[in-house]
Amino acid sequence: MVGNINYTVIYVLAIVIILILESTVEGFSPSLSTLRNVQHNRIPHLRSTNGDADAKLPAKEKRQQTTSHESVQARAGRLGGGSDELTTTLEHFGDTAARKRVLILCTGGTLTMSNDPSQGGSLAPVQGALTKYLQNMREFTDDPEMPEIVSHEYTPLIDSSDMGPGDWALIAEDIAENYYYFDGFVVLMGTDTMAYAASALSFMFQNLGKPVVFTGSQIPLREPYNDARKNLIMAVIFASSDTVSEVTIFFHDRLIRACRATKVNTSKLLAFDSPNIEPLAEIGINIEERDHLYLPPPRGAFRVRTEMDTRLITLRLVPGFDDTCIIHMIKAARETHLKGLILQLYGTGNMPSLKDDLVHALSDATAAGVCVVVTTQCHTGSVLLGHYATGQALIKAGTVSAGDMTLEAATAKLAYLLGRGDLKIDEVRDLMGVDLRGELTPKDQISPPPLASSYQKAIFQKNRSRTY
């Protein structure tokens, strides 16, 4: 009898805990209205939520609001039509439970574009074109090995230059809301700001356990020769992978970590590089995956935090600059509550040691609570503050090193950490130097560039060993 009561109590407690978890863990459970809104497949294995009037719910209002703590900027984005419109349900997938499920969220970019006579013939996104194309893509509809896909186009589709933190937050929230319904996610967007957006999502997701693959193209999908089709197909394939549990970019035969990516070319199809770590996978006749580079599976509950503090300035120094202009700019920005200053300096993080006033302006900014981060103008390699005497002044001024982070990752990480609201400025400074999502090579693993004397020693050793 007593044993029975104990079991009942444990059972009731377990239900209560599950209910509490459901209500507190973001993304734990999609909205019931979504679940109940069962639609019937019109196209086997492929559905789109566009053009279905019954499915349309009001676009998200959430993102138009300011977030709870006052330091964070209003983050209204330009994208409309969040995935509240999605009609995906578990019943929807009932007949094909064995297949992987991938959600494609399309924001626009060249992939979706066509020459628009009303814009003087310039390229502009065409709403609905991707959806229509996908419906006829035999690669997805006919191949039982391919994942089942659901696509969603935001309204309006936009160029990625028009996207910002509000739009990134919308995408992250849509992924979180559909997290438990899909095995992976593809985000289609323009290439110009893809590395920023994808880096931002890397930080917004804590304990991500599924692949999120960004892709786009340099040539529109509608052109007979394009890079859009294969980028799209491979992104979907990687989004159904069991081993990828991080945000990545698939572009031109390479899967790269999002927070290591940078756009390097305006015209070649190889538009992205991962300068400081190798691609996670490369596609030739075979797929060469570098499993050892993948982030390990998460150890905690998935969570999304979309607040970003955008009161940042990025400053690229050029030799011979007039430092009074820069000092005035920093002072003026501080009056408008500057929170972060990212300096793009020379080589390992050097700037002229003789510009005392500038160093003072930086240490004043630091003392006033601004996080000053030093990045390098070099494409490859790391900041090593103090390797040269000129960098010592920066250490004394309280600046922090971005290590080998890309500018995109450094800005996204700083905006994310400042936006968290629960971190003190000293914690933000410390965390800038901690590897959170694979964006940074830990300091102790970066060796300073060898000096000539060590080359001489090495050559001497080699010659000596040859004589024996």
Ligand X SMILES: NC(=O)C[C@H](N)C(=O)O
The tokens for 446 are 């970066």
381: Cα separation from own chain's centroid: 21
Write the DSSP assignment of 16-69 as a string of letters: HHHHHHHHHSTTSS--HHHHH-----SSTTEEE-TT-GGG--PPPSGGGSPPSS
Of 186-194, 207-215, 358-366, 420-428, the window that binds ligand X (rule: CB under 6 A) is: 186-194
Task: Give the shortest CB-222-to-ligand X separation in angstroms.
Answer: 14
Task: Give the shortest CB-208-to-ligand X separation in angstroms.
Answer: 24
Binders of ligand X: how many residues, by CB under 6 A?
10
Task: Give the shortest CB-199-to-ligand X separation in angstroms.
Answer: 15
The interface mask with ligand X, positions 108-147, x = CB under 6 A, is -xx-------------------------------------
Q: What strands lie across the sheet with 371-376, from one edge to the other? A: 312-316, 340-345, 371-376, 400-401
Of 78-86, 174-182, 189-197, 416-424, the window that binds ligand X (rule: CB under 6 A) is: 189-197
Q: Is 77 in the site for ligand X (CB under 6 A)?
A: no
- Burial level of 4, CB count in 10 A (0-12/13-18/19+)? exposed
Which position among 34, 110, 131, 399 bears the catalytic label?
110
Q: Of 252-281, which residues contact ligand X (CB under 6 A)?
A: none
3-state SS assignment for residue 309: coil
- Helices 389-396 and 356-367 meet at what angle, rounded to 10? 30
Amino acid at 276: N
User: 324 catalytic, yes or no?
Assistant: no
Pick 72 or 113: Cβ nearer ligand X: 113
Of 58-66, 185-193, 197-205, 444-452, the window that binds ligand X (rule: CB under 6 A) is: 185-193
The interface mask with ligand X, positions 331-350, x = CB under 6 A, is --------------------
What are phi and psi for residue 420, nearest 5 degrees? -60, -35
Q: Is 83 in the site for ligand X (CB under 6 A)?
A: no
Pick 29 or 155: Cβ nearer ligand X: 155
Looking at 165, 190, 211, 279, which residue binds ligand X (CB under 6 A)? 190
Pick 215 or 350: Cβ nearer ligand X: 215
Is 160 marked within a binding site? yes
Of 91-99, 157-165, 435-443, 451-459, the window that binds ligand X (rule: CB under 6 A) is: 157-165
Looking at 218, 240, 376, 411, which residue binds ligand X (CB under 6 A)? 218
CB 371 within 8 A of CB 337: no
3-state SS assignment for residue 213: strand
| In the block, residue with structure tokens 């629960």 | 422
Report the run of H or E that residue 169 belongs to, with start and end: helix 165-177
Pick 102 or 197: Cβ nearer ligand X: 197
Looking at 160, 262, 375, 390, which residue binds ligand X (CB under 6 A)? 160
Q: Distance between CA atoms of 70 and 66, rounded to whole angstroms?
A: 8
Looking at 84, 192, 309, 439, which residue binds ligand X (CB under 6 A)? 192
Is 192 marked within a binding site? yes
Pick 107 or 202: Cβ nearer ligand X: 107
Q: Distance between CA atoms of 398 and 462, rounded to whole angstroms?
A: 42
CB 239 within 8 A of CB 211: yes
Pick 81 or 216: Cβ nearer ligand X: 216
Q: Is 408 in the site for ligand X (CB under 6 A)?
A: no
The tokens for 131 are 């959806």
Q: Distance between CA atoms of 175 and 150, rounded to whole angstroms?
A: 13
Whether the link from the prior residue into 279 is cis, omega within 30° of 0, is no
Distances (CA, A) of 412 to 19, 86, 332, 405: 34, 28, 23, 11
Q: Of 197-216, which residues contact ligand X (CB under 6 A)?
A: 216
Sign of CA dihedral 417, 342, 272, 346: negative
What residue is closest to ligand X based on CB?
190
Task: Give the shortest CB-162-to-ligand X separation in angstroms.
Answer: 8
Is 191 marked within a binding site? yes
Pick 157 or 400: Cβ nearer ligand X: 157
Of 33-41, 129-137, 184-192, 367-375, the window that binds ligand X (rule: CB under 6 A) is: 184-192
| CB-CB neighbours of 67 under 10 Å | 20
Residues shown for the chain: 468
Of 155-163, 299-307, 331-339, 369-377, the window that binds ligand X (rule: CB under 6 A) is: 155-163
Q: Is 438 in the site for ligand X (CB under 6 A)?
A: no
Q: Distance between CA atoms of 374 and 94, rounded to whole angstroms?
A: 52
Task: Give the shortest CB-232-to-ligand X separation in angstroms.
Answer: 13
| CB-CB neighbours of 268 under 10 Å | 10
CB 28 within 8 A of CB 180: yes
Pick 166 or 216: Cβ nearer ligand X: 216
Positions marked catalytic: 110
Residue stretches of the annotated binding site for substrate? 160, 191-192
| Residue ranges binding ligand X (CB under 6 A) | 109-110, 159-161, 190-192, 216, 218
Residue stretches of the annotated binding site? 160, 191-192
